[in-house]
Chain A
Amino acid sequence: MRAGNEMLLCRLHLHAVLPALEALSRLVPQARDAVAGANFALGLRVADGPSAMVTAADGVLRVEPALASRGGAVLYFFRPRHLNAIFLQRVAMPPLPVRGWLRFAKLRPFLRLAKVLDATLQPAEPALADDEFRRRHLLLSFQVALRAVPIVAREDPLAMRALKSTPPGLLTIRIPNLEFVAWVEWRNGVLRSELGEPPSAADAIVTVRDEETARLLVAGQLDPQAALGLGRVRVDGLIPLADGLDVLLHRVESYLGAPARARS
C-alpha cells in the first residue's frame, strides 16, 4: 500500500471503524457489560496524522474525532502504518503512552470492546448463523461504511474522480427490516453522511429489500447492478448519484474489506 493510502486507511480506522464502538456498546450485551463499570478516557494520536478520543463513563461510551485537550491517557503511534498494524492485529510495536498514567487495569474494558468490535465487523462465517449477531454485524458494517464514505470522498483519488461526474443531491438508504436509515449528501464539493432520516426530501432513495440482500452486499457476494436487476435493491430518483455512492463504497471496500486486510 502506498504511503498516502496508509494515511487514508489510518483515518478510516480512527474515524469510521473506531466510532462503531458507540453502537457496539449499545447493541452487544458483552460490550454493554464491558462499558457498564468502565471509566476511562483514551486518546489515540498518530504522528502528523489524525487522532481520536474514546471515553467511557456512567455506562456510556463516546468516540470523538479529536483529542480532548486535557485528561485521559494518550497513545502515540509513530506513523499511520503503525496504527494500521495495530488495528489489523499485525505484529507491531506497542504505541507509546505520552500523556497521563496509563493504568492498564482501567483500559481493560477498552481492549475487550476492541475485540468484540473486530469479531462483529469481521465475523467468522459460523457466527453469522445467529440471527441477532448477523443483524448487529450488518448494522455496524453499514455504519462503518457510512462514516467512511466522506473520508474516501475527500482523500481517495478514484473516489474524487468519480464524484467529479456525480450530480449533486441527497440520497437516502433504507433497509426496512434492519431498521436502518441513513443519508448521504453530495453538494458544493462536499460529501456528508449521517444516520437517520434525511433533513429534506431525497433525490435518490436506495432501498435494500431484505437482510439477506444486505448481507450479500456487505460480503461482496452480490453485484450491485445484479441486485438492481433482481429487484433486491431498488433505486428511485437520481441514479447517477447512487452510482457515485456505489463507487465510493467500492473504494471503502478496497481499504477495509477482507481482501485488503489479507493483503496489507
Chain B
Amino acid sequence: MNRPDFSKSAALFARALQVIPGGIYGHTSPALALPGTSPYYAARAEGCRYWDVDGNEFLDFMCAYGPIVLGYNHPEVEEAAARQARDGNCFNHPTGLMVQLAERLVSLVDFASWAVFGKNGADMTTWCVQVAREHTEAKKILRVAGAYHGSHAWCSPGHGGWIDEDRAHVHAFPWNDLDAFRDLVKKHRGEIAGVITTAFHHPAFGDSVMAAPGFLRGIQETCRAEGIVFILDDVRSGFRLHLGGSHRVLDFEPDLVCFCKALANGHPISAALGRKELQPAAGRVFLTGSYWNSAVPMAAALSTLIVIERDGVIERIGKVGAQLREGFVKAAAKHALPIRYTGHDSMPFMSFGDETNFLRSQVFCREMMQCGVFLHPHHNWFLCAAHESHDIAQALAAVDDAMAAAKAAF
C-alpha cells in the first residue's frame, strides 16, 4: 500500500508558522489529531471524499466537523448559492431570503415562533444566553461539564484568554445527573437565567453519551417550574437526528434552540429559534455582525433544507451509519478487541475497551488514515447523505487491518 505523502501540507504549514500563530489553530490544529500522519490542508472535495494539497484522496467521516450533511459540493445547494451570488451576497439590507428562511425554520421547529441568524454556532449560543438573562432578569447559567458551546470567554475549553469573572455566574453539572442539576437550581434559586445542553453528550476526548430516560425531560420540567430558560444547543446534531430539532427524537422541549453546522451544507450561517414568550427579550438583545445577513448562505440553507426533507436524508444517514457501526463492531469482535461505539449512528464515536488515554484509538485511526479513510481519534465522526453502501464497504475493508494494528500495538 502506498503511504500518503504530506510534503505539500508540511511546506504550507512551515510557511504558515511565519505568519499565523500556531500555524493552524482551533479544532483543525494538527496538534489535536495525528500530526505527521494526516493532511493539514485541503484542496477540494466532492460527495464524501476530499483531496488534500498533496493530492491524497480520503473517504471522509468528519464532514468538515459536521457542516457537510448532503456531501461536499452538493450540486443543487451550490447552484442555489451561485444563483444568489450572481445577484449579490452582502448588501446594506437583508434580502427577502432572510424572511423566507425564518418562515421555513419556524415551520419546521414545533415550539418556535421566531428565528434569528448569525454565522457561527457560538454567535447563537452566546446570544441565547443573553436572551435568557434579558428575559429572566437573572444572571446565572447552568451548563453540562465538558460540553462544547463555542470559543467565547464564558464557555471556551481553552486555558487562555479568559478571566474568572467571565464565568462567575456559569455553573456546571455532570451530564445525566438530574440530581446535581436540581441541587444547583436549589442552591441558586431565583438567580438562574438559563440552562444550556446539547441533545446528547458529545464531548471531544470522550465517549458520546445519550440522555438517560427522563434526564432532558426532567430539566425541562424544572425549568418550567422555576421560570428558567432551557436552551438546546443543536449546533452539532441539528438536522442529523431530526429536521425539526433533535428534541423531537428525544422527547423533550426546550425554549430556545441553536442550529449551525448542517443548516447550509457548509455555507456559513447559524440560527436561533425561540418560543413566543421570549420574542420581546430577543428583540432587546442587540444582535448583528458584518456578514450575518449575507444572502448566499441563506439561499444555501433554504436549498439544503429542501434536499434533506425531500431525499429522506436523515433516515439515510442513520442507515449507512448503522452499517458502519455493525461493520466496526464485527471487526473488533474478530480481533477480540472490546470497543465502545457510542453516540447516534449519524454522528458516532468509537473508543477501545476500558482505555481512556486514546493510545489504541490513535493507532487505529492512523492506520485507517494510511488507507485513505479519514477518522478522528478524539472527536465524534459524521456521516452524510453522500455516503453510500460501497463507501461503507471501503471503510470496512480497511478496518480489519487497522483493528489488527491496534491489537498488535499494545
Q: Could you list which residues of chain A lie within 8 angstroms of chain B, going by C-beta atoms?
A: 158, 161-162, 165, 167, 169, 203-204, 223-226, 228-231, 234-240, 243-244, 247
Contacts and interface: CB of A to CB of B under 8 A. Distances in A.
A238 B356 contact: yes
Interface stretch (B23-31, B121-129, B312-320): B23-31
B358 A225 contact: no
17 contacts: A165-B159, A169-B356, A204-B357, A225-B22, A226-B22, A226-B23, A229-B13, A229-B30, A230-B14, A235-B31, A236-B359, A237-B357, A238-B356, A239-B358, A243-B159, A244-B159, A247-B159
Contact of B205 (A161, A231, A240): A240
Given A165-B157, A229-B13, A231-B36, 17 more contacts: A161-B164, A167-B356, A169-B356, A223-B17, A225-B25, A225-B29, A226-B23, A229-B23, A229-B24, A230-B10, A235-B31, A236-B362, A238-B357, A239-B32, A239-B205, A239-B378, A247-B160
A240 to B, nearest CB: 5
A237 B159 contact: no
Contacts of B21: 223
B30 A228 contact: yes
Max chain B CB contacts within 10 Å: which of A229, A237, A238, A247? A229
B359 to A, nearest CB: 5
A85 B3 CA distance: 57
Interface of B: 10, 13-14, 17, 21-25, 29-32, 35-36, 40, 157, 159-160, 164, 205, 356-359, 362, 378
B12 to A, nearest CB: 11
Contacts of A230: 10, 13-14, 17
A236 B363 CA distance: 9
A236 B14 CA distance: 22
Given A165-B157, A167-B205, A239 B35 contact: no
A263 B32 CA distance: 34
Given A225-B31, A228-B31, A229-B40, A169 B357 contact: yes
Contacts of A238: 205, 356-358
Contacts of B30: 228-229
A7 to B, nearest CB: 20
Contacts of B29: 225, 229
Contacts of A235: 31
A226 B35 contact: no
Identify the 8 closest CB pairs spanning chains A and B, nearest first: A203-B357, A225-B22, A228-B31, A229-B30, A238-B357, A231-B36, A237-B357, A162-B159
A105 to B, nearest CB: 50
Nearest to A229: B30
Nearest to B29: A225
B22 A237 contact: no
Nearest to A244: B159
A235 B35 CA distance: 9
Contact of A231 (B35, B157, B359): B35
B17 A226 contact: yes
A188 B13 CA distance: 38
Nearest to A163: B159
A146 B32 CA distance: 24
B23 A225 contact: yes
Contacts of A237: 357-359, 362
Nearest to B25: A225
Contacts of B159: 158, 161-162, 165, 243-244, 247
Nearest to A157: B164
B409 to A, nearest CB: 10
A223 B362 CA distance: 23
A228 to B, nearest CB: 4
B22 A223 contact: yes
Contacts of B378: 239
A165 B13 CA distance: 29
A239 to B, nearest CB: 7
Contacts of B157: 165
A45 B159 CA distance: 35
Contacts of B356: 167, 169, 203, 238
A231 B7 CA distance: 12
Max chain B CB contacts within 10 Å: which of A158, A204, A225? A225
Contact of A228 (B25, B35, B205, B358): B35
Max chain A CB contacts within 10 Å: which of B21, B164, B359? B359
A240 B377 CA distance: 13
A162 B160 CA distance: 9
Contacts of B25: 225
Contacts of A234: 35-36
A162 B158 CA distance: 9
Contacts of A240: 205
Contacts of A239: 31-32, 205, 358, 378
B336 to A, nearest CB: 20
A235 B10 CA distance: 18
Contacts of A231: 10, 35-36
Nearest to A242: B31
A198 B233 CA distance: 41
Nearest to B204: A240
A209 B160 CA distance: 26
Nearest to B40: A229
